[in-house]
Chains A and B, each alone.
Chain A
């Protein structure tokens, strides 16, 4: 089996700050994802990456950047944190071009003061 590790688990930021979230997977999956989870809104796709150095925008990419320098890691940057923002960011991975499941990490909980 494998695991997805997200760091940090909790992130407190200031308004306007640039914040980076990290994700590592040892499944050897090609495709990785970043989802945002807000209460009552489900999971919304921010960015995904089909393979190393590939980046694809999701439905919620504005205000975010992503980076996939190597197969096992996928980073997400909040370019300018919004005051009172509170959300959980979930990283996931899967086999590409298949109907196999997504494997999720436990999430990074963001609070902006």
Chain B
């Protein structure tokens, strides 16, 4: 079956530094990747999505590039802010008919930004 791996459980950074949150996936079928962000006591919400190989997608200062050759979709930001402190989930949907409505989530990475 499909799987998503996020290797870091917790990333702690000082404001203004760059960040990269890792996401790798496994699927037999053509993938569609998502990043969701969940702030404390809030609902998860979509941050980025992509199914296009080697094309950078950006939103709210965050960016990610789907690399099918390495099965990766790492999330990056050049300068983190205090408000970026949250839980970040990478998720995978495969394009096989019948699985279209199912997302597989990674374990999540908590980003803590310090002053």
Contact = CB atoms under 8 A, between A and B. Distances in A.
Contact of A42 (B34, B43, B45, B106): B106
Contacts of B91: 43
Interface residues of A, number: 27
A2 interface: no
Interface in B74-89: 89
A24 interface: no
A74 interface: no
Interface stretch (A12-20, A61-69, A76-84, A97-105): A97-105
Nearest to A58: B102
Contacts of A40: 9, 107-108
A36 to B, nearest CB: 11
A90 interface: yes
A106 B44 CA distance: 8
A38 to B, nearest CB: 9
Given A40-B9, A107-B43, A102 B108 contact: no
Interface string A34-54: 010000111111001010000
Interface of A: 4, 31, 33, 35, 40-45, 48, 50, 56, 58, 90, 94, 96-99, 101-107
11 contacts: A31-B101, A35-B105, A40-B108, A43-B103, A48-B102, A90-B44, A94-B101, A97-B100, A98-B100, A104-B45, A106-B42
